[in-house]
Homo-oligomer: A and B are copies of this chain.
Amino acid sequence: MKYLHTMVRVTDLDKSLDFYCNKLGLKELRRKDVPQGRFTLVFLAAPGDEDAQVELTHNWDPGEYDEGRNFGHLAYAVDDIYATCQQLMEGGVTINRPPRDGYMAFVRSPDNISIELLQKGDALPAAEPWASMPNEGHW
């Protein structure tokens, strides 16, 4: 038995790829357009970690994707949590839970999928602007 992917739905594929790839740093592995079903699947993974994927499902006629409570989040380890959050913030992404502790942050995808970022290894030393940045919203 082997983990393949977690599937999340996306309303706007371009906006989502901008978030997951350009801002978060995942890369697109493959894409499948299914015109007869009017949907597109895009498989993403962290570079060098292609076995654990995220599948984006884009229905060409999407409904509203409401957020349930049974699903929690996707989690990724990152080399430098401050650098990742900086890059996300510069891309206009709200850091809902800033890495005040140098260790853990939360952001959300355009469709409100909660994403946890964890510093690889030990926490980084506390640093501004993160150390005094308040939480924003929920995640």
Contact = CB atoms under 8 A, between A and B. Distances in A.
Interface of A: 1-9, 25-26, 45-49, 51-53, 55, 57, 63-79, 84, 111-113, 116, 118, 120
**What number of copies of this chain does the assembly contain?**
2
A117 to B, nearest CB: 9
B7 A75 contact: yes
A109 B20 CA distance: 27
Given A2-B46, A25-B1, A70 B75 contact: no
Contacts of A49: 1-3
Contact of A57 (B63, B64, B67, B72): B72
Contact of A71 (B46, B51, B52, B113): B113
